[in-house]
Amino acid sequence: MATVTGPARYPLIPWPRSLEARDGTFALAAGTRISTSEEGNADLRRLAGLLRGYITDLAGVDADIGPGGAITIALRSDAPAGEEAYRLDISPERIELVARDARGLFYGVQTLRQLIAASPKAIPAVRIEDAPRFPWRGLHLDVGRHFFPVEFIKRYIDLLATFKLNTFHWHLTEDQGWRLEIKKYPKLTEVGAWRKETIVGHARRGPKGYDGIRHGGFYTQDQALEVVVYAAERGVTVLPEIEMPGHSLAALAAYPEYANVPGPFEVRTTWGISEEVFSPSEATFTFLEGVLREVMDIFPNAFIHIGGDEAPKKRWKESSAAQEIIKREKLRDEDELQSWFIRRIERFLNANGRRLVGWDEILEGGLAPHATVMSWRGTKGGIAAAKQGHDVVMAPQEDLYFDHYQADPEHEPLAIGGMTPIEDTYAYEPIPSELTADEAKHVLGPEACVWTEYMPTTEQVEYMAYPRVLALAEVAWSTREARDWESFRSRLPAALGMLERLGVRYRKPL
Ligand code: ACM
């Protein structure tokens, strides 16, 4: 037996499904060769190059790529079954990584990377068979409240993929800024991507005034496509979110004709919820379908997020046009009008082969027939939707909102509120006990949210996201039985070392 086994010898996050410790180590040396099972395969070539880069950075030796190497990366039909699964065999003589798809190989390379980082020249022998617990392992980023450059978006994706998350939820539109170029509606970014200034201090704690600094920016369609490709190379799906009917003031500043009152409107300069929402008119649907058509052209994945949260009903109550629709469609109230609105959008997305995701408010007034629910106001919405046979993503704010404080606010930079220390995220169980085994199959997985009202810089985003993302990663990937706080804590220093090396401005646990 090896003298050191388990987490200390293999400081992996997330912990793999099965790990057999082995004696001995594999020595990395100059000229160690990496081979692939199919030389002409572009995915395999890219993965071999990725691994070579990690070896150079972490072990300080230059590996070769070519046939007959001691390290092999292979697509094989006898690899562990299941999407994203892989097997990694390390002996003193050789390293063999096999999977049935490139995503599995990518995760195997990440596992190997963590082992090399922890022990650069002498990689501990081991046999790992690994696969994720959940197919949806999400991390969100709000680029509406603050705009972040495309280079940072790529870095964010690279980091989440390092810890085997696979869904990047790109929250692209807000009251405070519209961030995606739409060719049919150019004012969305000419007007909607810019606000004249931003509130200073906490919006709920008395006025401190405004900073007087214009803020904004947007992603061109070419940049967004570049992000999609970059993400796909790391096994990551990009989930775009276009908010409706609420959180749409930036769009209404650009196109006031889709509001319920004449306007004009300004892109919002403070936080909180605006009364202004899209009108439920035919003109609005034509507009939104035009926007979503371009969104679907950029983002190839099955799911499109349409928001649906925090839409005040005041304007619809006061609008004769909205009230006409309620009467005509025999709807009970404005909640059912929102439900009718979302159903129309769902029909459009489904007709184009896509699936609609919305925040749990889309339950109010009745769920659209095929909608997937993202449960943020606790888990009640997710439970209700799963019981109705709908797929759900669990993002309860208590445990998975990384805009919350992670320690005593007295010693932390200003945040929106709440308190979600890393221990709480780690303890979060995505399958609610209220669900039967069959209902639980509708839980696609967990997702953490990073809302950026109080994160004006990329440094602040990384400070709030890390190290909590590491806890999320283990909740999303590892088995329930494997989840053990003391074990996680013993592996955390290695992961923090990795973050350190990558220059991530994470919050240092006390
Ligand atoms: C949300 O936090 N309003 C989804």
**SS3 assignment, position 225:** helix
Asked, for residue 116, whether it belongs to a domain, the answer is: yes
Decide: 483 and 16 in contact? Cβ < 8 Å.
no
For residue 238, the model assigns a pLDDT of 98
501 Cα: distance to centroid of ligand 1 (angstroms): 33
Same-domain status, 60 and 201: no
Asked, for residue 493, whether it belongs to a domain, the answer is: no
Same-domain status, 119 and 263: no
**DSSP assignment of 314-331:** HHHHH-HHHHHHHHHTT-
Taking the CA of residue 374 as reference, the ligand 1 atom at the shortest distance is: 4
Same-domain status, 240 and 120: no
Taking the CA of residue 449 as reference, the ligand 1 atom at the shortest distance is: 2
Measured distance CA(176)–CA(143) in Å, rounded: 10
- Closest by CA to 348, choosing from 319, 365, 370, 364, is 370
Taking the CA of residue 451 as reference, the ligand 1 atom at the shortest distance is: 2
Last residue of a domain, one of 428, 455, 482: 455
Pocket of ligand 1 (CB under 6 A): 309-310, 359, 376
Asked, for residue 468, whether it belongs to a domain, the answer is: no
Asked, for residue 46, whether it belongs to a domain, the answer is: yes
Measured distance CA(87)–CA(68) in Å, rounded: 20
**SS3 assignment, position 353:** coil
* Torsion angles phi and psi, residue 377, rounded to 5: -85, 70
Same-domain status, 144 and 272: yes
- What is the tens place of the pLDDT at every residue in 317-326? 999 999 999 9
- Closest by CA to 192, choosing from 219, 162, 161, is 219
Same-domain status, 50 and 69: yes
271 Cα: distance to centroid of ligand 1 (angstroms): 13
pTM: predicted TM-score of the whole model, two decimal places: 0.97
> Per DSSP, what are the bridge partners of residue 447?
138
Same-domain status, 168 and 111: no
- 318: containing domain: 138-455
Asked, for residue 508, whether it belongs to a domain, the answer is: no
For residue 1, the model assigns a pLDDT of 36
- What is the tens place of the pLDDT at every residue in 55-93? 999 999 999 999 999 999 999 999 999 999 999 999 999
Nearest-5° angle of CA 416, CA 417, CA 419? Answer: 135
257 Cα: distance to centroid of ligand 1 (angstroms): 26
For residue 2, the model assigns a pLDDT of 37
401 Cα: distance to centroid of ligand 1 (angstroms): 9
- Closest by CA to 491, choosing from 126, 116, 14, is 14
373 Cα: distance to centroid of ligand 1 (angstroms): 12
DSSP annotation of 210 reads B
Number of independent structural domains in the chain: 2
Same-domain status, 44 and 61: yes
- What is the separation of C-alpha 17 from the centre of its chain, rounded to a whole number of angstroms? 22
* Average pLDDT score over the chain: 96
The total of other beta-carbon atoms located within 10 Å of residue 421's CB is 17
Asked, for residue 491, whether it belongs to a domain, the answer is: no
Considering only CA atoms, which residue is closest to atom 3 of ligand 1?
Answer: 309
Last residue of a domain, one of 130, 154, 187: 130
The total of other beta-carbon atoms located within 10 Å of residue 223's CB is 18
Report the chain's terminal Cα–Cα distance, integer Å: 35
Same-domain status, 97 and 173: no
* 3-state SS string for 122-185: EEEEEEEEECCCCCCCEEEEECCCCCCCHHHHHHHHHHHHHCCCCEEEEECEECCEECECCCCC
Choosing from 309, 363, 394 the residue with most ligand 1 atoms within 8 A of its CB, the one to mutate for a pocket test is 309
Considering only CA atoms, which residue is closest to atom 2 of ligand 1?
Answer: 376
Asked, for residue 329, whether it belongs to a domain, the answer is: yes
- What is the tens place of the pLDDT at every residue in 401-453? 999 999 999 999 999 999 999 999 999 999 999 999 999 999 999 999 999 99
383 Cα: distance to centroid of ligand 1 (angstroms): 17
CATH number for the domain harbouring residue 151: 3.20.20.80
Same-domain status, 101 and 144: no
The total of other beta-carbon atoms located within 10 Å of residue 184's CB is 10
For residue 266, the model assigns a pLDDT of 98
The total of other beta-carbon atoms located within 10 Å of residue 192's CB is 31
Taking the CA of residue 376 as reference, the ligand 1 atom at the shortest distance is: 4
Asked, for residue 303, whether it belongs to a domain, the answer is: yes
505 Cα: distance to centroid of ligand 1 (angstroms): 25
Q: Containing H/E element for 36?
A: strand 33-36
- What is the tens place of the pLDDT at every residue in 191-217? 999 999 999 999 988 778 999 999 999
- What is the tens place of the pLDDT at every residue in 155-202? 999 999 999 999 999 999 999 999 999 999 999 999 999 999 999 999
Measured distance CA(493)–CA(476) in Å, rounded: 20
**SS3 assignment, position 392:** strand
Same-domain status, 276 and 192: yes
- What is the tens place of the pLDDT at every residue in 346-364? 999 999 999 999 999 999 9
Same-domain status, 152 and 280: yes
The tokens for 244 are 């409706």
Nearest-5° angle of CA 482, CA 112, CA 510? Answer: 60
Average pLDDT over residues 226-251: 98
For residue 510, the model assigns a pLDDT of 64
For CA atoms 328, 334, 335, 337, give the dihedral sign: positive
Same-domain status, 66 and 200: no
**DSSP assignment of 72-100:** EEEE-TTSPSSTT-EEEEE-SS-EEEEES
CATH number for the domain harbouring residue 75: 3.30.379.10
Last residue of a domain, one of 91, 113, 130: 130
